[in-house]
Amino acid sequence: MIPQTQRYQPSLEDVSALAKRRGFVFQSSEIYGGAGGVWDYGPLGTELKRNVKQAWWHEIVETRDDVVPFDAAILMNPQTWVASGHAATFHDKMVDCRVCKHRFRADHLPSLEKCPDCGSKGSLTEPRDFNLMLKTFLGPAEDTASQAWLRPETAQGIFVNFKNVAQAARRKPPFGIAQIGKAFRNEITPGNFTFRTREFEQAELEFFIPPDGTDDQWYRRWVEVRMAWYRRYLVEDRVRFRELAKEELAHYAKGLTDVEYHFPWGWGELESIANRGTYDLTAHIKESGKDLSFFDEANKAKYVPIVVEASAGVDRTALALLIDAYDKQRYVDQTGKEAERVVLRFHRQIAPVKVAVFALARNKPELVERARSIEHDLRRVMRTQYDEGNIGQLYRRQDEVGTPWCVTIDYQTLDDGSVTLRDRDSMEQTRLAADQVKAMLLERLAG
Ligand code: ATP
């Protein structure tokens, strides 16, 4: 667990400026003025997001024998969304200001009396339902028969395939199906950078449980597993787990815990873990007329499994990790002068680049060649970056993207084969034999 710290609290502008400057996140199709609520990930952002997904996948799929992986298509038969309730009820209430023309989500407004942007009194329209699903068409005819939706969550792809997967993977409840994939919501007011977007990725687990009274235990167990995961990567006092009171739950839900992060604008949801009862499978059984119940050979009995769901947002988690890692530190440099650096204190598993390898001088072919060969060797086992030139600048550049280690090759390397290993957080530099670097870094990465 990362202890409570006095770590610098960046503004959203600090983080979005760094994200753009260093190639974590760009506005989608920026040269055309962008697309509202849609973002692209640059080279470092792509690595960051991949590491978030890998950390989730490792915990939920790779290290367990009771969860199997899945990858459903984004497009589904539209009946899916009728059964799940999304076609009829996946609405947010929307209000418009007649004066400044801005649009708001009614539940985000403190009152409907005046516009929060232009301040006009009585200018807001009555709240109207707005379906958040994005429409598209399958095939060449744009009529209602071919209309489809871009999925607003990945979960339904798992539910409709429950029986296929249980049979093919020869599983019986309790077992889970996990997937990571894109979801789309036509949010009324996207914003707060990548927190609320119209295209995003979800990491979802649906865990199927027999009706033997263990569902609450499983729900609590999954909350624990997810808590431990978030606590490994985020500062302790910036993440909280909020269990909703029974009155706050949907009628079918038996328990729900939201994982929230303290963003610069306040607490925001990263994940929701819920005991959903038999609601989802029952809805699909009704709508499709297909029997999705499970036949328990041992007891010769059929049942509809209870589902515990853990539904996380990959982009929101990546944003939380970026904000969480952002630190500003004053220190005394090697010449004795006071200096300041921005350093992303990513957990080593999350850091986009694990090690940067530098040649101390640009114009010395022996140094460059040696550094390149060390970097090449490391590249086979971890993400690396090669650079050369002014060492102070090189360190600062790597600090700013959260690279945990730097290896510097200098003239002494040519004499005695030793290199300098520099640690991002302590800024400590140690001299060691070049041929020990790989084993040492691999050990630290695994630890
Ligand atoms: P919110 O209340 O913030 O709109 P939600 O409760 O509707 O979120 P869920 O349907 O529970 O969200 O979705 C599960 C997870 O998917 C969320 O915890 C979040 O991390 C992610 N998510 C949902 N909507 C978005 C979005 N528009 N942009 C980015 N991530 C999202």
Spatial distance between the Cα atoms of 256 and 278, rounded to a whole number of angstroms: 15
Provide the 3-class DSSP secondary structure of residue 46. helix
Return the bridge partners of 328, or none. 342
**313 C-alpha to center of ligand 1: Å?**
6
**Mean per-residue pLDDT, 50-68:** 98
Is the per-residue pLDDT at 1 higher than 70? no
Does the pTM surpass 0.85? The reply is yes
Q: Where do the domains of the chain lie?
A: 12-77+152-321, 91-131, 353-446
Is the per-residue pLDDT at 227 higher than 70? yes
**Mean per-residue pLDDT, 25-49:** 97
- Residue with CA at minimum distance from ligand 1 atom 3: 269
Q: How would CATH label the architecture of 353-446?
A: 3-Layer(aba) Sandwich (3.40)
Cβ of 258 closer than 6 Å to ligand 1, yes or no, is no
Cβ of 226 closer than 6 Å to ligand 1, yes or no, is no
Spatial distance between the Cα atoms of 246 and 63, rounded to a whole number of angstroms: 33
Q: Which amino acid, one-letter code, is at 189? A: T
Q: Which amino acid, one-letter code, is at 254? A: K
Supply the pLDDT for residue 249. 93
**Among 3.40.50.150, 3.30.930.10, 3.40.630.10, 3.40.800.10, what is the CATH number of 12-77+152-321?**
3.30.930.10
**Mean per-residue pLDDT, 284-297:** 96
**257 C-alpha to center of ligand 1: Å?**
14
Is the per-residue pLDDT at 103 higher than 90? no
Contacts of 14 (CB under 8 A, 6+ apart): 326
User: Are the C-beta atoms of 64 and 78 separated by less than 8 Å?
Assistant: no
Eight-state DSSP code of residue 316:
H
DSSP characters for 223-269?
HHHHHHHHHHHSBGGGEEEEEPPGGGS-TT-SEEEEEEEEETTEEEE
Say if 12-77+152-321 and 353-446 have the same CATH topology.
no
b vs e for 414-423, b when ≥16 Cβ sit within 10 Å of the residue's Cβ?
Answer: eeeebbbbbe
Is the per-residue pLDDT at 2 higher than 70? no
Cβ of 216 closer than 6 Å to ligand 1, yes or no, is no
Q: Which amino acid, one-letter code, is at 63? A: T
**Mean per-residue pLDDT, 283-291:** 98
Is the per-residue pLDDT at 263 higher than 90? yes
**Mean per-residue pLDDT, 169-198:** 97
Supply the pLDDT for residue 259. 98
